[in-house]
Amino acid sequence: MNWFKQLFSRRRVYNDLSEEIQQHLQEKIEELVASGMPRKEAAAAAGRDFGNITLVQEDSRAVWRRPSIEGFFADLCYALRTLRKTLGFTATAIVTLALGIGANTSIFMLLDAIRLRSLPVQNQKDLAEVRITDSGHQGMGLNQQYGELTRPLWQEIRDQQQSFSGVFAWSVNLRYVGRGSEMRHFHELRVSGDFFRVLGVRPFRGRLLMPEDEGACPMTSAVARYSYWQGELGGRDLSEGIKLVVDNELVEIIGVTPPELYGMVVGEGFDIAIPYCQGKDELRRDIFEVSVMGRLKPGVTMQRASAEKDALSPAIFEATIPSGRTAHSTETYKHFRLAAYPASTAVSSLRKYDRSLFLLLGIAGLVLLIACTNLANLMLARGSARQREMAVRLALGASRYRLIRQLFTESLLLAATGAAGCCLGAVVEPSARLVAFDRGSRGNSPDGHGLACAPLRSWRSGYDVRRFRSRAGAARYSRRTHLCDENWWPGNDRRP
């Protein structure tokens, strides 16, 4: 008999065994009665000849079953009944474990996203970022978020470097799509034409941006992120010609990035990627707005790339001196030096808090240790209250190993339930925030608590408030695609 099938039908099998034993016993009784023995004496004699019926049943079951597996399920059922009788203790243990495990998991996963997890691209270890070694450039001009270099500096690096097989520049901004009262913001990723090629990203739909997409302003091509394409654009076919009004300029979505690509900033995804363009005016040399990255050539180390950038720095900074600066500022600018740094884990503004994050992880581990200590004390107190139960079970023949296995099963069940409670909280909390935002907080600005918790929340749940809105209202926004049509203007009800 297949033991796996028997495991889930053992009650029927054991009932059949009992009926068969009773049948053999009844046949023996009838045989003795037929020989002239009274039925009462025959039943007693048959019982003596057959032996202990319960022992025979146990021996027969031991031949068929897997004692360890069946014993585990029996211990699990008993543990469930026991914990159900002490709901106060059970609830306290589960909540204690859930809080301790949840805190540690959240902090560790935040560290994983910021420090450990690599970009979802090919050969991440070959990626390097070029930036100024001295942070004093922060006062040399206008500094945009994650902006390390100016566009003239980027052009000089692109033209003179020899250690990279390909280089690209990128920047992030908050822009607006649509017109009039239907205008709403989106997260823009400005990139150079080689951005996707150097990263080795393949399109999910259509094609991605290429060097020939760069040119004079305004730009006419763009690439949408997968989540934005699914939520805001309703997953429409690109062959239909999806056009968006971005900052009062009409652009066409020519491709969709793969779902795993979130962008270059940890916890801050992009919505639309647009290539850089060259306006009529000369590029400003005092706006540090771009980050420059590249892929090292085979055999080139990070130290060699840094040495090359250091050697090129005097000529590069001499050629890009900002105008209208004092002599002291100009000399300071000329003495800046470039270097290459590993960029396999993307960019994050939280990395300057590395020590604090590791300290926070240590504190969370200490909290878990305290929680486990409190839970151990609770279980010891509960064990002292069960001394009579254990004494009775020992008197009935249970071995010490059997009792230890039963208590271990109860502890395992508590731990699994606490972890399940932690997972349930991680699933329910984003849904609760979604309901809260849908009920009227869409127009509110984030408060200090929201800003402080945004990186952790967006990383832990995989969503941010904007994505909640887009996914919850995918159908609603897909019906608003007339925003993207060049013929739509406020007050005009024409649809594409």
Are residues 163 and 206 part of one domain?
yes
Residue 459 falls within a domain, yes or no? no
Indicate if the pLDDT at residue 319 is higher than 50.
Answer: yes
95 and 20 assigned to the same domain:
no
| pLDDT digits 0-9 by tens, 247-278 | 888 999 999 999 988 888 877 889 999 999 88
Residues 367 and 260 in one domain: no
Task: Report yes or no on 454 lying in a domain.
Answer: no
Give the pLDDT confidence score for residue 37 in this predicted structure: 87
Alpha carbon of residue 100 to chain centroid: 19
Q: Tell me: the pLDDT tens digits for 98-129?
A: 888 888 888 887 777 777 677 888 888 899 99
Tokens of 123: 């050969």
pLDDT tens digits for range 7-17? 556 667 767 77
Please report which residue ranges of 335-481 form alpha helices under DSSP H: 354-385, 387-395, 400-436, 448-461, 465-472, 474-478
Contact 422, 101 (CB under 8 A): yes
Q: How far apart are the C-alpha atoms of 412 and 360, rounded to whole Å? A: 28
pLDDT beyond 50 at 210: yes
Q: What's the whole-number mean pLDDT along residues 156-177?
A: 92
Report which listed range, 86-90, 95-99, 274-278, 474-478, is most confident: 274-278
Residue 489 tokens read as 């203007």
Is beta strand 249-256 parallel, antiparallel or unpaired with respect to 243-246?
antiparallel
- 297 and 233, same domain (yes or no): yes
Q: Is residue 460 part of a domain?
A: no
Residue 430 tokens read as 């984003």
pTM: 0.61
pLDDT of residue 368: 84
Least confident of 188-202, 216-230, 429-443: 429-443
Q: What average pLDDT does this structure show over 355-369?
A: 82
Same domain, 44 and 175: no
Same domain, 60 and 73: no
Please check whether residue 490 lies inside any domain of the structure: no
With respect to residue 169, please indicate whether it lies within any of the assigned structural domains. Answer: yes
- Final residue before a domain boundary, out of 412, 434, 456: 434
- Would you list the DSSP string of 72-83? HHHHHHHHHHHH
Q: How far is CA 222 from CA 120, 160, 218, 254, in A?
A: 21, 28, 12, 6
Look at the chain and report how many structural domains it folds into. Answer: 3
Task: Check whether residue 133 and residue 109 sit in a common domain.
Answer: no
Asked whether residue 166 carries a pLDDT value surpassing 60, the answer given is yes
Does residue 443 sit within a domain? Answer: no
Q: Classify residue 244: in a domain, yes or no.
A: yes
Same domain for 106 and 131: no
Tell me which of 93 and 293 has the higher pLDDT: 293
Co-location of 321 and 191 in the same domain: yes
326 domain-assigned: yes
246: pLDDT strictly greater than 80: yes
314 vs 137: which has the higher pLDDT: 314
Q: Which pLDDT belongs to residue 64?
A: 59
Does residue 307 surpass a pLDDT of 70?
A: yes
Least confident of 78-87, 188-197, 342-351: 342-351
| Lowest mean pLDDT segment, chosen from 13-22, 178-187, 325-334, 463-472 | 463-472
Best CA proximity match to 401, nearest among 138, 2, 64, 75: 75
Q: Which 8-state DSSP code applies to residue 479?
A: T
Residues 175-192, mean pLDDT to the nearest whole number: 88
Q: Is the pLDDT of residue 387 over 50?
A: yes
Residues 80 and 94 in one domain: yes
Whether the predicted pLDDT of 451 surpasses 70: no
Domain end residue (candidates: 287, 318, 344): 344
Q: Are residues 202 and 305 in the same domain?
A: yes
Contact between 365 and 111 (Cβ < 8 Å): no
* Strands (DSSP E) found in 113-242: 127-132, 142-143, 164-177, 184-191, 205-206, 215-216, 221-224
Whether 107 and 131 share a structural domain: no
* Boundaries of domain holding 260: 124-344
Looking at 64, 93, 109, which one is the last position of a domain?
64
